[in-house]
């Protein structure tokens, strides 16, 4: 067999395997660069290659996506947008308004996305009624993680109201244990804040205050109570919390230095990586109150030139929402699949709670977008609220002052 015939044979095989004319190309901008996340992206990359596509990876680490967004802006301004970009929530709409997103409705319709995605989550993926992004996962934000050993030793049940939480915290403090592990970074303060808003105000209040930005709700007595509770929580945090990273706070719970942490379900990944077992070493339950705050990661598809790139975009969208990637990715990432028809057999108990609550809360109207993680609001009003929350949490400001500041800041940001 000569070299020529080998070439001819391989060319023939390629032609057989790929009836499509254009070879799918995709350049993917994302910031999933840490351990579990990088592994998850590699899964997608492999699936993409198996289907004959060429994947150009463009990971930009740093700043929780800030660095990637800067890179994206430069690329879009120079008229050379990547094929797909990790974007979420209102940011998708913001980019759509700049007129740079592509329409992937054909894939969505062919794959029947509308039937398998919860309506509310699907709404984030649509721009003016047509699909422009593909959802990857659902993170729940309002989790409270507990150290089982400490809680059992002190006879504490997982609290279901904030009063119960405060009572449990007092008890723990008396026993010399830091009740709440917390990292003093603005986004972590905001995370705790939104769970308190949901817990004390309920789903409707959350919707009007942090999604619709109703000035009446923002300036209400309920909001004063929320800030009062934030001040109380400040007392349950150790003195050394400023600037601490979230995973160090998780480690405090793991090592028995602290009893609780309020954090999204990526914290579960830390527990699991340390060999802890849910239900035995640590507990996962929703924060006090009813409702479900979600953070959905997704890939937005940008307008690109060329048949091969468009084919790549469509293939990518199909794979991302496909059941096999949804399962593998979310097992690695600690979140749950966004599709309602993926079997959860391989998932742990926390994921089961998350999936059941999502279905239930979706029916009750208490499935809500997280403000602290950029699902509910655009950058500016969200930032304005976070500024007030973190200023209040880290000073002696009174709750009334904070509420007044909040109303003014939100009004100025609109």
Partner 1 sequence: MTKWLETQVPKLVLAPSFVAILVFVYGFIGWTAWVSLTRSKLMPRYDFDGFGQYAKLFSTPRWDTAITNLGIYGVLFIAISMALGLLLAILLDQQIRVEGAIRTIYLYPMALSMIVTGTAWKWILNPGLGLEAMVRGWGFEDFTFNWLVDPNMAIYTIVLAGVWQAAGFVMALFLAGLRSVDGEIIKAAQVDGIPHWRIYTAIIIPSMAPVFLSAFIVLAHLAIKSFDLVIALTGGGPGYATDLPATYMYAMAFSRGNLGQAASSAMVMMAVVFAIVVPYLYSELRAKND
Residues that bind partner 1 in the complex, under the rule CB under 8 A: 63, 66-67, 69-70, 73, 76-77, 91, 94-95, 98, 184-186, 189, 238-243, 378-380, 383, 387, 390-395, 405, 409, 412
- What is the distance between the alpha carbons of residues 191 and 198, in angstroms, rounded to a whole number? 11
| Cβ atoms within 10 Å, residue 240 | 9
Shortest Cβ 246–partner 1 spacing (Å): 13
Residue 214 · residue 193 · CB < 8 Å: no
Q: Which is nearer to partner 1, 48 or 95 (CB)?
A: 95
User: Hey, is 180 helix, strand or coil?
Assistant: strand
- What is the distance between the alpha carbons of residues 223 and 384, in angstroms, rounded to a whole number? 16
Q: Which is nearer to partner 1, 326 or 399 (CB)?
A: 399
Shortest Cβ 203–partner 1 spacing (Å): 27
Q: Which is nearer to partner 1, 43 or 71 (CB)?
A: 71
Shortest Cβ 90–partner 1 spacing (Å): 10
* Phi, psi for 143 (deg, rounded to 5): -110, 145
- What is the distance between the alpha carbons of residues 332 and 158, in angstroms, rounded to a whole number? 27
Q: Which is nearer to partner 1, 207 or 261 (CB)?
A: 261
- What is the distance between the alpha carbons of residues 101 and 91, in angstroms, rounded to a whole number? 12
Q: Which is nearer to partner 1, 67 or 349 (CB)?
A: 67
16 token code pair: 């057989």
Shortest Cβ 380–partner 1 spacing (Å): 5
Shortest Cβ 318–partner 1 spacing (Å): 28
Shortest Cβ 182–partner 1 spacing (Å): 12
- What is the distance between the alpha carbons of residues 262 and 4, in angstroms, rounded to a whole number? 64
Q: Which is nearer to partner 1, 88 or 310 (CB)?
A: 88
Shortest Cβ 394–partner 1 spacing (Å): 3
Q: Which of 384, 339, 373, 144 is nearest to 261 (CA)?
A: 144
CB-based contacts of 170, cutoff 8 Å, min separation 6: none
Q: Which is nearer to partner 1, 60 or 355 (CB)?
A: 60
Q: Which is nearer to partner 1, 36 or 383 (CB)?
A: 383
* Phi, psi for 163 (deg, rounded to 5): -65, -45
Shortest Cβ 77–partner 1 spacing (Å): 7
User: Hey, is 54 helix, strand or coil?
Assistant: strand
Q: Which is nearer to partner 1, 106 or 395 (CB)?
A: 395
Q: Which of 290, 262, 287 is nearest to 362 (CA)?
A: 290
Q: Which is nearer to partner 1, 315 or 409 (CB)?
A: 409
Shortest Cβ 395–partner 1 spacing (Å): 5
- What is the distance between the alpha carbons of residues 177 and 206, in angstroms, rounded to a whole number? 32
Q: 116-121 long-range contacts, Cβ below 8 Å, gap at least 24?
A: 116/321, 116/339, 116/340, 116/341, 117/321, 117/338, 117/339, 117/340, 118/338, 118/340, 118/358, 118/362, 118/367, 119/362, 120/362, 120/367, 121/294, 121/296, 121/338
- What is the distance between the alpha carbons of residues 356 and 349, in angstroms, rounded to a whole number? 11
Shortest Cβ 15–partner 1 spacing (Å): 43
């Amino acid at each position: 067999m000569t070299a020529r015939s080998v070439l001819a044979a391989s060319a023939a095989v390629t032609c057989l395997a790929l009836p499509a004319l254009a070879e799918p190309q995709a350049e993917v901008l994302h910031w999933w660069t840490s351990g579990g996340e990088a592994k998850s992206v590699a899964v997608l990359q492999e699936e993409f290659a198996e289907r004959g596509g060429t994947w150009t990876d463009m990971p930009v680490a740093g700043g929780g996506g800030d660095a990637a967004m800067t890179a994206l802006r430069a690329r879009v301004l120079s008229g050379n947008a990547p094929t797909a970009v990790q974007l979420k929530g209102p940011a998708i709409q913001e980019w759509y308004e700049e007129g740079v997103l592509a329409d992937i409705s054909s894939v969505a319709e062919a794959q029947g996305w509308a039937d398998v995605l919860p309506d509310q989550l699907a709404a984030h993926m649509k721009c003016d009624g047509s699909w422009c992004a593909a959802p990857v996962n659902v993170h729940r934000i309002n989790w409270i993680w507990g150290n089982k050993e400490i809680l059992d030793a002190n006879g504490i049940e997982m609290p279901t109201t904030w009063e119960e939480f405060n009572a449990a915290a007092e008890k723990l403090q008396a026993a010399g244990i830091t009740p709440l592990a917390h990292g003093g970074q603005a986004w972590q303060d905001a995370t705790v804040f939104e769970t308190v808003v949901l817990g004390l105000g309920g789903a409707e209040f959350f919707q009007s205050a942090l999604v619709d930005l109703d000035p009446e709700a923002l300036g209400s007595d309920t909001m004063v109570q929320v800030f009062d509770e934030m001040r109380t929580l400040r007392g349950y945090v150790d003195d050394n919390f400023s600037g601490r990273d979230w995973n160090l706070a998780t480690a405090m719970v793991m090592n028995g230095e602290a009893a609780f942490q309020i954090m999204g379900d990526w914290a579960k990944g830390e527990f699991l990586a340390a060999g802890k077992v849910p239900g035995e070493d640590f507990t996962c339950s929703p924060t006090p109150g009813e409702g479900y705050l979600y953070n959905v990661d997704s890939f937005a598809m940008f307008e690109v030139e060329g048949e091969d790139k468009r084919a790549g975009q469509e293939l990518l969208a199909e794979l991302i929402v496909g059941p096999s990637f949804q399962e593998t990715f979310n097992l690695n990432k600690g979140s749950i699949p966004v599709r309602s028809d993926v079997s959860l057999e391989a998932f742990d108990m926390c994921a089961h709670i998350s999936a059941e609550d999502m279905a239930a809360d979706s029916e009750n109207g208490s499935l809500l977008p997280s403000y602290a993680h950029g699902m509910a609001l655009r950058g500016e009003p969200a930032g304005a609220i976070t500024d007030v929350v973190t200023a209040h949490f880290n000073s002696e400001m009174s709750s009334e002052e904070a509420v007044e500041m909040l109303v003014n800041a939100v009004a100025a940001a609109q």
